[in-house]
Amino acid sequence: MEKLIILCPPGAFSKRDYDRYGIEFLKKNFSLKILNFTAWIYPELLKDKSNITYQCEEHISISCKDDFLAFDTEKDSLIVLDCFEQSKKINWVREQLRKRNSFFVSPDLNLLPLTKKNIFHFLRYLINFNVPPKKIFKFFQQRYYNLKKAQLPDILFAGGLASSKNSRIKEKISGHSMDYDVYLKLKDKPENKTANYAVFLDEDLVSHPDYIFNIDFGPPHSQFQYYSILLKFLKKFEMETNLKVKFAIHPKSHNNNLKNLLQDFDYSIGDTAELVKNSNVVLLHASTSISYAILFKKPAIFLTSQKLKKSWIGPRINYLAKTINSKVLNMDDDLNNSLNLQLLLKIDEHKYKNYLDQYLKTPNSPDIPSWEIFTKYIKSKQFVK
């Protein structure tokens, strides 16, 4: 019986998702369907015209319960790549798929060292920000579904030791992060050292689309406040270090004003890994693309501000910097202080190696693309319930 892989991606499905989930490779080895529940679960995302769904023959849009019930899988052995969080609708979908004798694989590939969140963290966030009642209700609703007894996935696809360390899932695939897949394509290419520069890893802290459906946080800054202090500090950094700053714009950025805001800087989108590989130093807040700094062994300098310190991202910046033993600069306090570049450029190789093992690549996992690892594992197994 042919194995049918069902991918349930989180949020809107983009061309970037198509590439990162290895769709071209997977569909050569399996029957494949992409069930996109955005129109039903996160309709707010589709109101933004920049959230263009990438159309491919495997893509099926599920806009209501009836759409899902009409999806026929009777003739196939079903393997679900479950990338969802917990919610009432999503849990119902899981229950229906389990009734069809599905095997669930949880891809835990894009890991970050995150501070533990609790009710006190959220209450402090409520005090600091004018959080709408609807979002408060969603927070507690999410906690309810997280606490409800849910059936574990059958297989964990682990991107690092941090994924499997506390997992109760018995079956595990040892893999690596999606960023490591990008690294594999670039690692043997020579560095392009035509000019020395620093790269800033943008996170779109003003208008990131995840703020629409993420329950725990919203924009930590207004556009004027954020770019006012950030651009002043980066100009100071350029003057004192003789390193031009290049902006690696976040691939999901929705800020239509960036062209005007960044007119004094070089910027691009879609080439973050290349920019980091060829850079001298990486500047960031708490971007997941810190992975490229680790993989290409580039110094990382973390940037915060008085406003960011009081927001949800403040503890993340500090914890991420502590994890790799790097410096944190306060853009407000250090605007008038001289920068000691030699001190800032130091790398703690032991911390970098530990980060690699914990969050980017399971030790001794194959140095091949993630979805090739996944495919070999799935094809080697007989799935019978």
Per-residue pLDDT of the chain (385 residues; tens, 9 = 90+): 568 899 999 878 889 999 999 999 999 999 999 999 989 988 877 766 556 789 999 999 999 999 999 987 665 668 999 998 777 888 899 999 988 888 999 999 999 997 765 555 556 655 555 556 666 566 566 555 555 546 789 999 999 999 977 788 989 999 999 999 999 999 999 988 788 999 999 998 877 666 555 545 667 777 788 999 999 999 999 999 999 999 999 988 877 788 889 999 999 999 999 999 999 999 999 999 999 999 999 999 999 999 999 888 899 999 999 999 999 999 998 888 899 988 999 999 999 999 999 999 999 999 999 999 999 999 998 765 5
325, 227: one domain: yes
Same domain, 215 and 187: yes
- Domain check: are 257 and 307 in the same one? yes
Across the beta sheet with 300-304, what order do the strands follow?
Answer: 266-269, 244-249, 197-201, 281-284, 300-304, 328-330
Residue 135 lies in a domain: no
Residue 212 lies in a domain: yes
State the pLDDT at residue 150: 62
pLDDT of residue 117: 58
Instruction: Answer yes or no: is 128 within a domain.
Output: no
Does residue 172 share a domain with residue 238? no
Q: How far is CA 384 from CA 76, 77, 100, 102, 151, in A?
A: 12, 9, 12, 9, 17
Task: Check: CB of residue 353 under 8 Å from CB of residue 376.
Answer: no
Q: What pLDDT, on a 0 to 100 scale, did the predictor assign at position 87?
A: 79
Structural domain contains residue 119: no
Residues 224 and 166 in one domain: no
In angstroms, the Cα distances linking 343 to 104, 196, 318 are: 47, 18, 18
Are residues 350 and 212 part of one domain? yes
Is residue 163 domain-shared with residue 216, that is, in the same domain?
Answer: no
User: Does 138 reside within a domain?
Assistant: no
CATH number at residue 31: 3.40.50
Q: What's the predicted TM-score (pTM) here?
A: 0.89
C-beta neighbour count of 348 within 10 angstroms: 13
Q: Does some domain include residue 134?
A: no
Residue 374 CB neighbours (<10 A): 24
Q: Tell me what pLDDT residue 130 has.
A: 56
Residue 27 shares a structural domain with residue 43: yes
- Which structural domain, as residue segments, surrounds residue 154? 3-111+149-177+364-379
pLDDT of the residue at 240: 94
Closest by CA position to 84, among listed 15, 32, 153: 153
- Contact (Cβ atoms closer than 8 angstroms) between residue 54 and residue 77: no
Residues 37, 97, single domain; the answer is yes
Say how many domains are in the chain.
2
Residues 348 and 255 in one domain: yes
Longest dimension (CA), the chain: 68
> Residue 271 is part of a domain; what is its CATH number?
3.40.50.2000
- What are the CA-CA distances from residue 242 to residues 2, 235, 247 (Å)? 59, 10, 16
Q: Indicate if 166 and 216 belong to the same structural domain.
A: no
Alpha-carbon torsion angle 246, 252, 254, 257, nearest 10: 10
260 and 173: one domain? no
What is the distance between the alpha carbons of residues 100 and 96, in angstroms, rounded to a whole number?
Answer: 7
Give domain status of residue 260, yes or no. Answer: yes
In a domain, 232, yes or no: yes
